[in-house]
């Protein structure tokens, strides 16, 4: 059986969809799973051993591109497609491609018309994690009641792993620990004060054996500049706009810890096995119950307030705005220490186990 898994949106959303492929292949090793993602996200899945092929789709572009994709998908003769995020134009494209069974969340009026194997999900208000919702949809494809999965995991090419080793050797050769601080959310959540990010970066850089870097791309520029204006420690390196996504994955793999808001790079770092600390708003649509990282070693910090938003954050209209000010620099630094202690203990245990078994 040949199944197309569709998730054409942002980095973090796709990372939280990766366990779907591992779970599908574990349950049905004789099936073939393909991925259809946004063009910018292709580096996240191109090395995944559970994915037979990668397709890309963008809502913008010439009509000829859509026609070409329809023809290519039709030639593959897919048995089914599961849309982990429903988009009506893409559902129509999949129908034109002759895919007979269309799975996905029944969350919009058009989804009831276009999906013939839908699952009722109220994603934005149900209080369930995005990864669990994705696995529920895959359970429908696999015809089982429940699908179990481990944490989200990214797979790198040997060239990307080499980038990580070279980054660490060339820019942090004398460091015992490498940390990344990422101040921008790309508009997906509230932003913590850049001055506090600068304070965290400086405090980590002041620790013996630590090397700290600020990361960011494009829209993160103002937050990085604000960190510098707030008095960023000159020992902290700036990596703004320095790498492509494919290269950035390699760079991240050379680190130990990552601090940031609810944003794609936080999920990338978590899925690469770094210890991560995420700063999240309390609004239901942004809460870590829904969007928290699902890697092996994570801490999330949420303001201890009663959010008046029933669903989305009210932003400047909220009487508690900006409630992320309740998260202190000391709390973030404490979370970094805890998550790194867990990571190092676990990795030491794994090393001893490999030594004991000879594997």
Domains of the chain: 2-142 (3.40.50.2000), 158-354 (3.40.50.2000)
Q: What CA–CA distances, in Å, run from 107 to 80, 113, 235, 301?
A: 19, 11, 49, 30
pTM above 0.75, yes or no: yes
Mean pLDDT in residue range 153-170:
98
Q: What CA–CA distances, in Å, run from 190 to 128, 163, 264, 287, 324?
A: 20, 32, 14, 11, 8
Q: Give the contacts of 81 (CB within 8 A, at least 6 positions apart).
A: 3, 4, 5, 6, 36, 94, 99, 101, 102, 103
Mean pLDDT in residue range 107-122:
92
Q: What does pLDDT average to over the chain? A: 94
* Dist. CA 204–CA 42, nearest whole Å: 33
Q: Which of 188-197, 209-218, 313-322, 342-351 has the highest mean pLDDT?
A: 209-218
* Dist. CA 345–CA 337, nearest whole Å: 12
Give residue 125's pLDDT band: very low, low, confident or very high (50, 70, 90): low
Which pLDDT tens digit goes with each residue over 239-259?
999 999 999 999 999 999 999
Mean pLDDT in residue range 308-329:
91
Q: Count the helix, strand and coil residues of the chain and give each as a percent rounded to the nearest 5.
A: 45, 15, 40
Give residue 124's pLDDT band: very low, low, confident or very high (50, 70, 90): low
pLDDT of residue 126: 57
pLDDT of residue 83: 98
pLDDT of residue 311: 83
pLDDT of residue 354 exceeding 80: no
Using DSSP's 3-state secondary structure scheme, residue 353 falls into: helix
């Amino acid at each position: 059986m040949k199944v197309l898994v569709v998730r054409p949106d942002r980095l973090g959303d796709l990372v939280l969809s990766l366990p779907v492929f591992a779970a599908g292949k574990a349950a049905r090793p004789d099936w073939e799973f393909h991925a259809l993602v946004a063009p910018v996200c292709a580096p996240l899945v191109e090395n995944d051993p559970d994915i037979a092929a990668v397709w890309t789709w963008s809502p913008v572009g010439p009509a000829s591109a859509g026609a070409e994709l329809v023809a290519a998908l039709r030639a593959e003769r897919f048995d089914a497609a599961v849309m982990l995020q429903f988009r009506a134009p893409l559902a129509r494209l999949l129908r034109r491609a002759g895919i007979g069974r269309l799975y996905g969340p029944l969350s919009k009026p058009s989804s009831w018309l276009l999906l013939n194997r839908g699952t009722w999900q109220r994603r934005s208000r149900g209080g369930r994690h995005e990864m669990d919702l994705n696995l529920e949809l895959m359970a429908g494809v696999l015809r089982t009641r429940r699908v179990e999965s481990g944490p989200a995991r990214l797979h790198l090419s040997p060239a990307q792993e080499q980038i990580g080793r070279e980054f660490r050797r060339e820019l942090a050769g004398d460091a015992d620990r490498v940390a990344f601080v990422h101040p921008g959310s790309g508009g997906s959540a509230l932003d913590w004060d850049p001055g506090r990010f600068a304070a965290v970066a400086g405090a980590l850089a002041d620790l013996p054996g630590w090397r700290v870097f600020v990361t960011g791309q494009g829209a993160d520029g103002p937050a990085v500049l604000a960190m510098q204006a707030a008095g960023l420690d000159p020992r902290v390196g700036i990596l703004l706009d320095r790498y492509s996504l494919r290269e950035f994955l390699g760079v991240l793999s050379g680190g130990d810890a990552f601090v940031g808001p609810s944003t794609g790079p936080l999920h990338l770092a978590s899925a690469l096995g770094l210890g991560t600390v995420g700063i999240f708003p309390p609004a239901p649509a942004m809460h870590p119950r829904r969007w928290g990282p699902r890697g092996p070693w994570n801490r999330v910090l949420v303001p201890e307030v009663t959010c008046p938003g029933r669903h989305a954050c009210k932003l400047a209209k909220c009487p508690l705005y900006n409630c992320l000010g309740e998260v202190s620099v000391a709390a973030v630094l404490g979370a970094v220490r805890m998550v790194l202690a867990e990571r190092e203990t676990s990795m030491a245990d794994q090393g001893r186990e490999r030594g004991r078994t000879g594997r």
